[in-house]
Amino acid sequence: MMASELPPPGAVLRRDFRCGPTQVPARLDGAIKLLQWNIERGYQLAGIIEELRSIDADIISLQEVDVGCERSGGADTGVAIAQALGLNYAFLCEFEEEYSPLRDARSQGGGVHGNTILSKFDFLESAVVPHRSHPVDWNNPTHALARREPRRGERAVLRAVVDAPQGPLVVYSAHLEVFCGLLARITQLADIFADARLQADRGLHRQAILGDMNTMAHGIARLSPNYCCDHMRLRSIGMDEAAVWHRHVLPVLDLHPFPPTTTTLDNPAYRWFGLSLMKGKLDWVLLRRLRAVTTQVGNHSYALSDHKWLAAEVVPE
């Protein structure tokens, strides 16, 4: 894709790469298989495609999807995955990743970056769910983080209504801000919940919120002014951020099939004599009017991405 053809931040693109009949038969148990994965810009694109092929999920939520960035070989990673697997494709552009001498080779831009929902089923609609607050102003070139990785745009959530065999299913693909504190991420989560309430008011009660929520306040990350920059860095000592969410943010909602001890990020750069100093549950599957009958976690070696993937087969409640 030429630079002039790249979508602007906030745009949603849809393409259908399915071949043959679009009516997909339900699984024998009546379940739908959901998958959540931050693919780390698609550095290992060929391996990611083969991993997704073997998982055979019906609906896939991906974050850190690059289009035309030098760091990921200039590929349109979301389209490449959708084409290879023959899936329906929706992409939300969050950021224009500017090409800059300030970036190193592993972060070099030149394209755009965002979130994707892939599906075996039809999309009835798709839309952007904006966030009310943005802890990092990525459009401010004087901001220390923006100087290191210049970009234009803002974090947002992709929402799609999928025409699943059991009826319409609302699916969210989210990537919350990592460079902030626990309270700012909860505020962004509340934006998703507010939209989910609006969808329920429309009669769309079956919902799946999938995403990298960047629940990062754990281990030595708690000492960083970037990852834990509010007073909860001290008040939550003794609990990982995921445990705080389970205990205080989602305590009355039986909608999270993966316990807070599920590790989805364990940065090798922060291992010391076999001890993991920065690991935790950053990725989430939240369900409404759905029940998980099986769950899986994969990419344990982190060979394909710095995040593990989560998969759940769900049935309507």
DSSP character string of 291-312: EEEEEEEE-TT-SS-SS-EEEE
> Given this model, what pLDDT does residue 225 score?
75
The yes-or-no verdict on residue 23 having pLDDT over 70 is no
Count of positions (residues) in the chain: 317
What is the average per-residue pLDDT within 235-241?
74
State residue 283's pLDDT score. Answer: 98
Residue of 283, 243, 249 lying closest to 263 (CA atoms): 283
**Residue 221 in 3-state DSSP?**
helix
Decide if 172 contacts 197 (C-beta within 8 A): no
> Domain 10-18+29-316 sits in which CATH superfamily?
Endonuclease/exonuclease/phosphatase (3.60.10.10)
pLDDT confidence of residue 252: 63
SS3 assignment, position 186: helix
pLDDT of residue 152: 96
Structure-block tokens of residue 265: 């990020």
- Strand partners for 158: 128, 173
Nearest of 208, 148, 202, 204 to residue 179 by alpha carbon: 148
CB distance 145 to 226 below 8 Å: yes
Reduced 3-state DSSP string for 112-142 = EEEEEEEECCCEEEEEEEECCCCCCCCCCCC
Contact yes or no for 89/78 (Cβ under 8 A): yes
Measured CA to CA, the distance from residue 102 to residue 219 in angstroms comes to 29
pTM higher than the cut 0.85: yes
Phi then psi for 77, rounded to 5 degrees? -65, -40
Domain ranges of the chain: 10-18+29-316
Answer whether 239's CB lies under 8 Å from 233's CB: no
pLDDT (tens digit per residue) in 110-151: 999 999 999 999 999 999 999 999 999 999 999 988 998 999
| Separation between Cα atoms, residue 300 and residue 15, nearest integer Å | 31
- 28 pLDDT tier (thresholds 50, 70, 90): low
Mean pLDDT for the chain overall? 91
Looking at the DSSP bridge assignments, the partners of residue 159 are 127, 172
In the structure, what pLDDT confidence band is assigned to residue 315 with cuts at 50, 70 and 90? very high
**pLDDT (mean) for 213-234:** 77
